Amino acid sequence: MRFATLAVCSILMTACATTPEVSLTPLEIQSMQTRSFEAEKSETFASVMSMFQNLGYTIRQADVSTGFITAESTAETSTNMLELALIGARANRYTSSTRATATIEEMNGETRVRLNFVNARKSSSGWGQNSSDDKPVLDAEVYTNAFNKIENELFVRSAS
């Protein structure tokens, strides 16, 4: 009995543990989200569009003259099974997606790209209440991966 109580308490305590928030300065965030390319703005713009599409994003808006692109990943919907078991049809439903923006501008003979990814989570209950929770993606690997894909697209376009 004592072992079972200890096991349950251990599980509950680890379930309450949270991952520490990443604390970056605005300059560090900008540095992570920005890269310059030695290519024309129009080529870079098309390469950023291709990168988003290759990653499964839907382009919501794109304007070459301003260099601004908005895109969104497909949404995933889930239901909290514990809530469903406890309160039935009134359980919350969660929809998660990733929204992205890109700003492309010419600077000093290069083209500068700044990407911004945001994880968006919306919940709706059977009672008609809705809420949203947007969190910026601050994982440098995500941005490095995206910039590498843009670089590959630029290489393919220059070889054509």
Find the length of the chain: 160
Considering the domain delimited by 25-159, tell me its CATH architecture.
2-Layer Sandwich (3.30)
Q: Does pLDDT of 122 surpass 80?
A: yes
Mean pLDDT across the chain:
85
pLDDT digits (tens, 9 = 90+) for 108-119: 999 999 999 999
Q: Does pLDDT of 83 surpass 80?
A: no
pTM across the whole model: 0.76
Contact between 131 and 123 under an 8 Å Cβ cutoff? The reply is yes
pLDDT digits (tens, 9 = 90+) for 12-41: 455 455 555 668 999 999 999 999 999 999
